[in-house]
Amino acid sequence: MNFTVNDLNVKKFLAALKGMGIDSYVSNGETVLTLPVIRKAAKTCRKCGLANSRKNVVFGEGSDTAQLVFVGEAPGEEEDLQGRPFVGRAGKLLDQLIERIGLRREDVYICNVLKCRPPDNRDPEEAEIDACKPYLISQLGLIKPKVICTLGRHAYNTLLGVNERITRVRGTLRDYRGTMLLATYHPSFLLRNQEKIKEAWEDMERLKQLLRS
Ligand code: SF4
């Protein structure tokens, strides 16, 4: 599946890719991207300072034709070690949330705003988000899901270009470039605030209905 580029950020990103010697996205004179091409670019990316401390780039995984994409914040320690998203305690909880929709992890696609771990799991910085965002925009443009579920405030704010608290926007349905976007809590937050899990279950029920609609 290809992704025709019409986004300014992604165009700049493509120019950067070309500078890295990756130009296999040009097909029949038209600029296109594929998931393997951007995964390859991310693997060696040094567009922000997180490249210096990461052990692995955590690009994302799952079905590249998924109807549902989960977007989290950034890899944690275990994700950085394994190079896979949501594999620690928060990942186990995310698996349980996905099961409540009646799906399996391999049916959906899971990724983060940042592809590299911030030291000590600190919040992502604005410059890091700006540098990394084209990967996420490209992933979503290629997968073309029916619904995007943002996990926590950073994913929501990054995709919608706002600055909201998750407690204000959780459970709200928004439009992201013609795709439904539902905001829910980050599983790490749910591990620390277990009284909120019922709201997350309600969000999974909503996702199930949206996917059926
Ligand atoms: S976080 Fe994103 S922009 Fe920064 S080095 Fe990693 S892949 Fe590149």
Tokens of 98: 């996905």
pLDDT band at 18 (very low <50, low <70, confident <90, very high): low
Ligand 1 centre to CA of 24 (Å) is: 21
Atom of ligand 1 nearest to the CA of 74: 1
Q: Is 195 exposed, middle or buried, given 0-12, 13-18 or 19+ CB atoms closer than 10 A?
A: exposed
3-state SS, residue 150: strand
Ligand 1 centre to CA of 13 (Å) is: 12
Residue 16 in contact with ligand 1 by CB distance below 6 A: no
Ligand 1 centre to CA of 41 (Å) is: 10
Mean pLDDT of the chain: 91
Ligand 1 centre to CA of 210 (Å) is: 32
SS (H, E, C) 52-113: HCCCCCCCCEECCCCCEEEEECCCCHHHHHHCCCCCCHHHHHHHHHHHHHCCCHHHCEEEEC
Residue 166 in contact with ligand 1 by CB distance below 6 A: no
Residue 142 in contact with ligand 1 by CB distance below 6 A: no
pLDDT for the residue numbered 78: 96
Q: Ligand 1: which of 39, 126, 128 to mutate, most ligand atoms within 8 Å of CB? A: 128
Q: What are 73-113's pLDDT values in tens digits?
A: 999 999 999 999 999 999 999 999 999 999 999 999 999 99
CA distances from 132 to 50, 65, 77, 115 (A): 10, 22, 19, 7
Nearest C-alpha neighbor of 174 from the set 157, 154, 197: 157
Ligand 1 centre to CA of 117 (Å) is: 9
Ligand 1 centre to CA of 115 (Å) is: 6
Which residue is listed with tokens 């204000």? 168
pLDDT for the residue numbered 1: 45
Domains in the chain, start-ordered, CATH in brackets?
3-212 (3.40.470.10)
The C-alpha angle 48, 109, 142, rounded to 5 degrees, equals 70
Round to whole Å and give the CA distance between 35 and 210: 25
Residue 117 in contact with ligand 1 by CB distance below 6 A: no
Q: What are 22-68's pLDDT values in tens digits?
A: 554 555 555 567 899 899 999 999 999 999 999 999 999 999 999 99
Backbone angles phi, psi at 26, to 5 degrees: -90, 120
Beta bridge partners of 211: none
Residue 131 in contact with ligand 1 by CB distance below 6 A: yes
Q: Is 122 exposed, middle or buried, given 0-12, 13-18 or 19+ CB atoms closer than 10 A?
A: exposed
Residue 119 DSSP symbol = G
Round to whole Å and give the CA distance between 32 and 167: 38
